[in-house]
Chain A
């Protein structure tokens, strides 16, 4: 038998299996592909918590499988194909770099549903989803601007992609709003998860006088570095990182994928799954703000919570004019709110941030 017809045959067989699921005869199988280890304490850890929540909520109607530490590229494509061959009905691919691999595999398995995190390519059986992390960054920026004494805020950035740049801008806008003297020092580490590099970056920032360190990387290494330094404040990233509370970790941005994962799995079970693009924030609960610790004065905490409530009910958007770009050109007029298209592809700093986005 030819290999191609074999593969097509397997896909058809899977189609039949999926049909059986709708009748409730068989468990719905959900696969998760992770870019880091589930014990990273950050990004992958939260996705895995989402997976466990699916198991808990849907009980014996579902079976979940996962593979961690999957490199982007051909390895990811192989792992996704393997899951589809093993009978997965729904596969969550949880890293931006899995985008083209997800589309490729989805073409081969039209009856398997795919959900790709943080990407922009969709298909009949591929949805995309992401969270408005920048909403959380606004609250972080506010607290950081109020709390810094050296007026230097360090920022450990991963890759110069729109998601990360949005976070930097959002944090800076709100820090500068309450503290015009604030200065951001940004270090690009070109990794999502590398405790050694992240620790080095944190130490370098602290040596340059930063007394608040924000991170857009997934390990707890910067928290440990700040704890060692003693008087440096941090925020948990992707996960609560509560083991470093109440200080240095004074709050956190938590990605809560559980409600989304449960809803999408339920949709597959019900046969109502459709391809769509989801970009949710604090309001729907995809982004949560971790407990603001007592290291933050009560009035600052109150302001931060008020901002959170305003963002949640939609009365405040973190990118509201007047705002200028770094080069001084106008971006948003007074009261104007950024559109999602611009935010999705953001590749510029706002006015006041020094340095350049690496090219």
Chain B
């Protein structure tokens, strides 16, 4: 049971960004992926989720043994993959509540929505309101989010911190088996970082999530303690180790990795 990335090569607009990434995230384990700006970390997360602009030119992505390539993003999500985005997109006119209700219903398999027999009766596919409401309220408590938040339009006018909390709220409702958190720590103040991290830890434990945490900084890793740490430079994982690696990195910066890389190549 794992999210397995095998020798993944990805091109964006004809330019090779990922140059052979291999990584196995077992259910229930926590991996951190650290790397400098522009190293391709976000390309990796978008490619895993199936963004149409990211072209896989070689390799494979397997979720519990099933290849995700060829699946549109929604199928990947329903298969149990979640991506907390670095820059969540605002969708005007769609309340967080109705969006969460629709998404939760879709992921938990409340009927195939393309079924023509239920034409025009979308609510027939929806998770029962009362049940949904109760669950959302529990998750709001966990993440210390004001319920009034649900009435706002999705990510519209949200502060950086609010967006990140809303991402984790979605993760809580969608109950993925594997989750990628793409710089969830950016834009969070110290209190929000603690609340969000504790929320992630609780969810990770309860749902036995395989977690891939993408970040620049050590900060969040003090709260969400990774089992494995990878260092990502120029479209590849160049070093894998335990938490000690984080501390070295924090002290010596990515320059140290680069030098070691050059040294290794000699």
- A and B are partners in one complex rather than unrelated chains: no
A contact set with B: CB distance below 8 Å: none
B contact set with A: CB distance below 8 Å: none
